[in-house]
Structure 1
């Protein structure tokens, strides 16, 4: 007899899942029945929040959905923070949880791990939440999840299975095909957008995370129309070192001036979130007057007025625009082109605007990039990450991501970096975290030790929450609670049997990274900041 739990594993394999992050418990034991004999690798984090963050990092690095198994009640509530981060950043994540036996739900009698309404709670956090009440519902529920990941704006999806249903006979459930077709292109809207762009004298492109898989089309369009390309945080790495690229935050005055001077703005895969466009909360962001928006999500398109709003995959929409536009320009802008000159002026002004302290921190991030080309840098909320989110040009599309925007979950970096390294074992993966944020999920370095995931954990140790302390001082609040005592990170590394070294200055980072990378095992590099 094949149980529903066993069928679940087979169906996940049919959908291409090769890794599951989870902590087994009495409410998920049946889900593990078929796991040992399958081709799916199970990774055991030290906390369910870590499972969610690892699934997130796995998904961002690989482009495939990250999958987590968690128990009902506290296991699932521990995962909610990671799910909220994934929702904010459009990360495909499938969370499969248990729930109490069907006959006990909603009675409030105090069963183990009982919640008043677990399904109702998850409907508020996930893009969708489904409860499986019969084995024949499972295949279609999984198909709906993977269809959402493939054809619309992704995010976290939750499926819960009551413990009595897990053990039911499931027969030979077959995977239901996934519908992968994105929204059909509206040719009338494409032509209207192309006409606006063709008539523009100073066009500008804003590239967000939704354009990460459209680098070739983005480059061709930018070169054809001679348009500077401003990257949001999740768009960093696109068109690295190109003369038209402005790898700077739209919250900076220099970039806002560039936006206000454009006569048409093409916004590709960016939601205009305040953590990108108004991170200082000064209400200085103004929606461009002539705006062409491209986004998979119709709800996002409705949130800001646009001259032309195109619901589509960015690569498909940009390619269609290219076909419509007249090729009167040669498509190969020299460094002296008008767009390149404007981009260069904006880059210089934006870098000067962030000031010397942040320039030093950006320099530290550039050392990572230059020491380990095409690396994946996974950030936590720490000073050099904040600085680089303001200004930094990465050399790998999708290779710079962090939780310092959107939902802003502290402690994201270490487990997400482990997930990225498990997804992309041949890539150099660096976690950049502060001593405060690192302690939120510190035990997860044990997972790197368990699996051999060669993450280089760079700890920016300024002995506390210095960014928060600065914010307090700036508004005249006496700092309180911002100086938690950090542990001895080198002794912790010794306890986990991974190599570590402490640097006296950030200038030593490049050489230390090369030494660590040569080991091809998890390492800790601590930078002591005065």
Structure 2
């Protein structure tokens, strides 16, 4: 670690020393006037700073890094406009349960709570973050920083995980400190174990079930050993497992009990409804998962989640407030194994029913694209999907295989995929794959500079259909025509090339081959696919004949 020329240390040094003691290696963000003391301290540390071009993309980057590495994503933000610009991306991390430590600068202490006309000053910056974070805090002197940061780092990972927010005034960062160099930290990441009587009640219901089904959400993936515990319980119950979009990969698709993740399908909705006992774990059973609130369970529902506010929010249930993995493991030790079920047959039957329904629709182009992309991308690659028609297909159709599937559908904002994939590539050292539409791509286009600056091994597929494709389709279906969905856009191939990034124009026939070729190269690559895709037909479970 380097030193200041005068040998003094300041609050900025205390921050980076604390982060280093916490095991942090990468930090994301953009420098700002009130945060200069923090950024100067990075120079004297071993932290790797990843500079993006828009603060919202910095937050998406920290989010993608956390998802890909399993570490806490650390984000540095400047005061006022910089901090506010990141809030949209923080909503995604908050909704999805991604652990982030957000460190933002503040005006000097003499301006807090006042209107002194300081640059970047807000009436109450902390209040702006409350809606998208688990906690907020403001430091008043440098001696507080190690504890504030360690507590926020711990809380970010405690179930349910999510972003935490610490503000540090400019003068606290710049003033000399008497705090000894930080070489140790005290952390306390809290597990949330299930209550014993609830485990007993759940095990009793499941042991007596004739048609048990498990719905596995993102909380299972995020929980330590959650996937392992899910598979163990499913096998003891011989129960088919449906994955939500966020839970995709909690059980391998090639496991006999996996019923896939065709969550917006009437056959899947019916399977979940007809279970005499449905165990929903790590999911709010929200809009998408419930097939747009058409799901109406007929049997008993056991609902497990680490976020207490989602329990019974949509349906009465035996509610278990607990970490998904801990609850699944505890229930598995107490259920009676079922030998008379046909979980594998039910799972396979559901998959075949979905395939038959799709075969009767004009969606051969979209199915072929999904197959070609899956064949082109290595089995272990991590993929990142924006809110675009190709991603809506991937929610249901994509098999993560040995990799991880990441989507921006927690909050549903645009621009997640590319900055998240860039950061994940930097953090893992492995090539990642991102998919955006042309509308969403414009949210992230500045990050071509980030990808080039850091030589990130990332392949970005931009499906260019000339506008906001999914909104075009929704509006046309609802109103007969679309409004404000058509977009002027750049020549994406030429634009990427202007950043010094290899760019390729593909067709539906060649896109798989082109993308596969990028995985044998180094550095960023862009593939542009002009194509107008369509969704599969509405599948809401409104009657027995739909």
**Which category of TM-score, normalised to the shorter sequence, fits these structures?**
over 0.9
Compared CA separation, residues 357 and 87, structure 1 to 2 (3 A): farther
Q: How much does 1:189 deviate? A: 1.6
> 1:7 and 2:25 equivalent?
no
Alpha carbons 1:94, 1:156 under 8 Å: kept: yes
Is there any run of 5+ residues in structure 2 with no aligned partner, and where? 1-7, 533-546
> 1:152 and 2:147 equivalent?
no
TM-score, normalised via structure 2 length:
0.90
> More displaced, 212-221 or 86-95?
212-221
SS of match in other structure, 2:93: helix
Compared CA separation, residues 287 and 260, structure 1 to 2 (3 A): closer
1:275 to 285, 288, 298: 288
Compared CA separation, residues 111 and 308, structure 1 to 2 (3 A): same
Partner of 1:314: 324
SS of match in other structure, 1:33: helix
Q: What pairs with 1:38-57 in structure 2 (closer than 5 Å)?
A: 38-57=45-64
Count of residues in correspondence between the two structures: 517
Partner of 1:208: 217
Q: How much does 1:468 deviate? A: 1.3
Q: What pairs with 1:105-254 in structure 2 (closer than 5 Å)?
A: 105-168=112-175, 169-172=177-180, 174=182, 175-212=184-221, 213=223, 214-237=226-249, 238-254=251-267
2:385 to 379, 392, 400: 379
> 1:449 and 2:425 equivalent?
no
Q: What pairs with 1:129-528 in structure 2 (closer than 5 Å)?
A: 129-168=136-175, 169-172=177-180, 174=182, 175-212=184-221, 213=223, 214-237=226-249, 238-279=251-292, 283-287=293-297, 289-301=299-311, 303-304=313-314, 306-327=316-337, 329=339, 338-353=342-357, 356=361, 358=363, 360-371=365-376, 372-396=378-402, 399-403=404-408, 405-426=409-430, 428-476=431-479, 478-505=481-508, 507-528=509-530
Q: How much does 1:173 deviate? A: 5.6
Determine the C-alpha separation between the residues in 2 that align with 1:465 and 1:307.
38
Over residues 262-321 of structure 1, what are the superposed CA-to-partner deviations in whole Å (9 max), with x where a residue is unaligned? 111111111112132244xxx412256412222222233253555432222222222222
Q: How much does 1:358 deviate? A: 4.9
Q: How much does 1:362 deviate? A: 4.3
Is there any run of 5+ residues in structure 1 with no aligned partner, and where? 331-336
Q: How much does 1:63 deviate? A: 1.4
Cα RMSD, aligned residues only: 2.0
Determine the C-alpha separation between the residues in 2 that align with 1:126 and 1:364.
37
Determine the C-alpha separation between the residues in 1 that align with 2:479 and 2:308.
43
SS of match in other structure, 1:430: strand
Compared CA separation, residues 352 and 406, structure 1 to 2 (3 A): farther
Alpha carbons 1:240, 1:396 under 8 Å: kept: no
Determine the C-alpha separation between the residues in 2 that align with 1:64 and 1:347.
35
Determine the C-alpha separation between the residues in 1 that align with 2:310 and 2:151.
21
Over residues 453-483 of structure 1, what are the superposed CA-to-partner deviations in whole Å (9 max), with x where a residue is unaligned? 1110011111211221122211225423212
SS of match in other structure, 1:120: helix
> More displaced, 175-184 or 43-52?
175-184
Determine the C-alpha separation between the residues in 2 that align with 1:298 and 1:188.
17
